[in-house]
Amino acid sequence: MPDPMKIRATMAGDKVEVKVLMAHEMETGQRKGHPAWFIQNVSATCNGRTVLSAQWGPAVSKNPFLAFRFQGGKPGDKIVIHWVDNHGESRTDETTVA
């Protein structure tokens, strides 16, 4: 099981600012003896509503960082971040908007 993500969701004016740090090797596949291993899909929901989704390649940094803002959230809302890598491994973590 991959290590959990660190997620922070705070109000920034009338918007929710989300910062996520994921624990992943993000191997490019360019190094000898190290096949590509990277997060391919990321999605973020707020109380079940998708607020961001992404498709990544192996160029995204090791232990990827992601920051974004969205409207329509309030303190107490549940933020869920989900990722799946190219080995089919996945991780889902959540937090509430502070």
Partner 1 sequence: MSDALDLTAAEADARARDAADALASFRDEFLIPPHGDGEQTYLCGNSLGLQPRATRQALLDELDDWGSLAVEAHFRGRHPWMPYHAEVREHLAELVGAQAGEVVAMNSLTANLHLMMVSFYRPTAQRPAILIEKNPNMLAAVFDIPPGTEPALSTRVKMGQTSRVIALVKAGDKYYYSAKEVKVTLGGCGG
Q: SS in 3 state form for 4-23?
A: CCEEEEEEECCEEEEEEECC
* Helix (H) / strand (E) containing 82: strand 78-85
Distances 62 to 17, 43, 72 between C-alpha atoms, Å? 22, 18, 31
CB of 92 to partner 1, least distance (A): 18
Nearer to partner 1 by Cβ, of 4 and 65: the residue is 65
Q: Cα(83)–Cα(92) distance, rounded to whole angstroms?
A: 7
Nearer to partner 1 by Cβ, of 5 and 51: the residue is 51
Nearer to partner 1, 1 or 12 (CB): 12
DSSP-derived secondary structure letter, 84: E
- Smallest distance, partner 1 to C-beta of residue 25, A: 12
- 18-57 residues in contact with partner 1 (CB under 8 A) are 26, 28, 30, 50-57
Residues within the interface to partner 1 (CB under 8 A): 15, 26, 28, 30, 50-62, 64-72
